[in-house]
Chain A
Amino acid sequence: MILVRFLIDFNYVTGGLALNTVARFEIKYLQYMDEKGTFISNDVPPAFARDLEQLISLYRDMNRIRLLDQKAYALQRTGKMGTYPAATGQEAIGVGFGAAMTKEDVLVPYYRGQASMVQHGVLMEEVLQYWGGYEAGCDYKVAKEDFPIAVPIATQSLHATGVAKAMQMRGEKRCVFTEIGEGGTSQGDFYEALNVAGIWNLGVVFIINNNQWAISVPSKIQTNCETYAQKAIGAGIDCIQVDGNDVIAVKDASDQAAEKARNGGGPTVIECISLRLCDHTTADDATRYRPDGELDEGWEKEPILRLRKYLESKNVWGKSEEESMLVELAAEVQTSVDNYLKTPVDPTEAMFDYLYEELPERTKLQREIAIQRGAK
């Protein structure tokens, strides 16, 4: 429709001259498994998807994040957690692309990125510490090179390109994954990152987590594009749209993009379509703007249910497996919560001690005063 409108306009200004097409584009959509848990395509699914153990593993990973989010919500509601953004319904995205990353790859996450962060080695207690007001939550014990969450939206896209540039200059066969919400793609930083990643052929995989809501702003008033993936076209880089509730599609697209990125093939944009089945954060009330019925429909398409249906259909999953998995995961999450709740508040001087490698003289005096005052 939009293309037709432009064509009419241009015909008008050119007085009906026949115009040559100098470029055209199309956006492919990838989905392997539908909401009923059945493979929709006659194409052979990727090897990992034929390995039921791997699918069970991804299933567990998604459930772990859902439990973590539930627990964080409960902690916030009982005064033991700061504002927290759950990712309910979007678990397949972070788990799927996180599973495509090697330890050597670097993750530059967005603020709702706990699924990919945990998948890439950030501890659940570190996620809780971050949102619970402890800087220690950004001092990752395992994911040493990963960036902390970037709160200013879309800035992370550019940091990812910088990391990829360093890897490229050093001739390393690693890549960078960075995630962004669909709302974030409206930011200039996102376009600047795509542009430079394209022209410098950087090994970055840009994951657009399209959960269809930017707090209260729906996609239809966020962009005039038919897809978010096509924003990559303007930067001359590859892109694909995938069913973000199909963990197989997310992981497969990510595997391919990562392989390409690690081997000098350049960047890729992967738009993953999902739906936020929760409030924006604990400080939000989505009933103020979400249309009736959207949630009910969303819960039918969500990622965990469909994979469970598939595993059940293969007779490798049932009530007892589900129950024991949930018990195990609950214990795992509870251990992280316990560790989080035991996090010591840093001593007062810690506010000063990481500002520079060496604190300036004037600030040293302030440090002494702050120590004396303490929390008084």
Chain B
Amino acid sequence: MKANTVKTVTLIEAVNMAVSHEMGVDKEVVVFGEDVGINGGVFRATDGLQEKYGKERVIDTPLAEAMIAGIAIGMAAQGMKPVAEIQFMGFIFPAADHIISHCARMRNRTRGRLTLPMVIRAPFGGGIHAPENHSESTEAIFAHIPGLKVVIPSNPSRAYGLMLAAIRDPDPVIFLEPKRIYRIEKHEIEDNGEEYPLGVCFVDREGTDITLVSWGAMLHETKQAAEKLAKEGISAEVIDVATVSPLDIDTILESVEKTGRLCIVQEAPKAGALGSEIAAEVAEKCLMSLLAPIGRVSGYDIVIPYYRLEKQYMPKIDYIIEEAKRIVEYK
């Protein structure tokens, strides 16, 4: 047996590695989207795949997002495993009709006769000085839809393992890639095809005084905040939600029962968001374990500004520290 390649890779390279791995072992896996072929994707997520697997399986599509999602549904209904790219999540809305009205419902409405083992990938979130409609965090829209799974990796290892799981999953997965952290860090990853489980939160740091819950890019600020809090004698537990739908609330509840305090950190606007759902679940299920009101650090309930004001929008480490201290010091 030939040894698995070990590479030190960024999050986006890990996505590439996982897709490439699965294309190598499963001929039903096909990649398509705008500029995914010779260009390797505008962020290079599919770099080299066309060269390796050919134009038949790595397909440049016409510029039409509804079509990309619609084609994926048709192919998946025939038993193929499409990994379709929407170039930026801001352009997913023409495809939303297909994702919401068909993709999420096909198994249910055909009583399991037609199933859709497909992945729709999209870079999302702010922080890279991108043009308008390129920076939103709209994961809650899809997390709200029963029948979909919504996955957000927060580091290269998880991107690799979760992408493998997403492609192998028998149901449709929306795989949202926080583009701000595409190249922020590298992990050494063995290309062994080992997946990470979907529907499970990861405890990234154990602590006893407060639970910090986050996902995607914001996990980086959250972890740094936890380190700084530790220096001030506050022991924070950090949870990476990873699969934002279906939500593994049990891991969060268990942590909150231990720490008695919860702060949710999200880049998305505050209202009607995933943080709202986590807060509500905790209030419903373990209110009596809480020693302080739940806190949330989030984006504002506004249209995300053009990049000159982007910094003023993005939640910062300091805000997390401030909110965490307020919660811990609550009497």
Contacts and interface: CB of A to CB of B under 8 A. Distances in A.
Interface of A: 108, 135-136, 138-140, 144-145, 147-148, 150-152, 155, 157-167, 169, 188-189, 192-193, 195-196, 199, 350, 354-357, 360-363
B70 A139 contact: no
Contact of B74 (A151, A164, A362): A164
B109 A192 contact: no
Contacts of A361: 199, 246, 248, 250
Interface stretch (B33-41, B96-104, B321-329): B96-104
B171 A357 contact: yes
Given A354-B111, A357-B170, A165 B74 contact: yes
8 contacts: A148-B114, A162-B76, A165-B71, A165-B75, A196-B64, A350-B111, A354-B108, A360-B246
B74 A161 contact: yes
A343 to B, nearest CB: 13
Which of A192, A199, A356, A362 has the most CB atoms of chain B within a 10 A radius of its CB? A356
B110 interface: yes
Interface string B67-79: 1011111111111
A356 B74 contact: no
A83 to B, nearest CB: 17
Which of B61, B97, B170 has the most CB atoms of chain A within a 10 A radius of its CB? B97
A148 B250 CA distance: 37
A45 B80 CA distance: 41
B107 interface: yes
B75 A162 contact: yes
Interface string B54-96: 0011000110101101111111111110000000000000100
Contacts of A136: 111
Contacts of A189: 66-67, 70, 97
B269 interface: no
B247 A355 contact: no
Contacts of B80: 166, 169
A162 B147 contact: no
B246 to A, nearest CB: 3
Given A135-B108, A193-B67, A147 B114 contact: yes
B112 interface: yes
Given A161-B70, A192-B67, A354-B108, A139 B113 contact: yes
B147 A159 contact: no
B30 interface: yes
Given A199-B62, A355-B146, A357-B171, A159 B111 contact: no
Interface of B: 30, 56-57, 61-62, 64, 66-67, 69-80, 94, 97-98, 101-102, 106-115, 146-147, 149, 170-171, 199, 246-250
- The list of the 10 closest CB pairs from A to B, nearest first, reads A162-B74, A158-B70, A360-B246, A166-B78, A162-B71, A139-B111, A192-B67, A163-B74, A192-B64, A357-B170
Contacts of B170: 356-357
B110 A148 contact: yes
B64 A363 contact: no
Contact of A148 (B30, B62, B69, B109): B109
Which of B73, B79, B106 has the most CB atoms of chain A within a 10 A radius of its CB? B73
A159 B249 contact: no
A82 to B, nearest CB: 15
Contact of B71 (A135, A145, A161): A161
A244 B62 CA distance: 32
B220 to A, nearest CB: 27
B74 A158 contact: yes
A195 B64 contact: yes
Contacts of A357: 107, 115, 170-171
Which of B66, B71, B149 has the most CB atoms of chain A within a 10 A radius of its CB? B71
Nearest to A158: B70
Contacts of B67: 158, 161, 189, 192-193, 195-196
Contacts of A165: 71, 74-75
A250 B107 CA distance: 33
A188 B66 contact: yes
Contacts of B64: 188, 192, 195-196
A166 B106 CA distance: 18
B254 to A, nearest CB: 13
Contacts of B97: 152, 155, 189
A361 B64 CA distance: 36
A361 B199 CA distance: 9
Contacts of A362: 246-247, 249
Nearest to B245: A360
B247 to A, nearest CB: 7
Contacts of B79: 166
A158 B71 contact: yes
Contacts of A196: 61-62, 64, 67, 71
A140 B75 contact: no
Nearest to B102: A155
Given A108-B74, A357-B171, 14 more contacts: A135-B111, A140-B113, A144-B113, A155-B70, A158-B69, A158-B71, A158-B98, A166-B74, A169-B57, A196-B64, A196-B71, A360-B246, A362-B246, A362-B247
B35 to A, nearest CB: 15
Nearest to B248: A361
Nearest to A363: B246
A357 B249 CA distance: 20
B246 A169 contact: no
Which of B70, B74, B246 has the most CB atoms of chain A within a 10 A radius of its CB? B74
A294 B69 CA distance: 41
Nearest to B97: A152
Contacts of B248: 361
Contacts of B73: 158-159, 162
Nearest to B56: A169
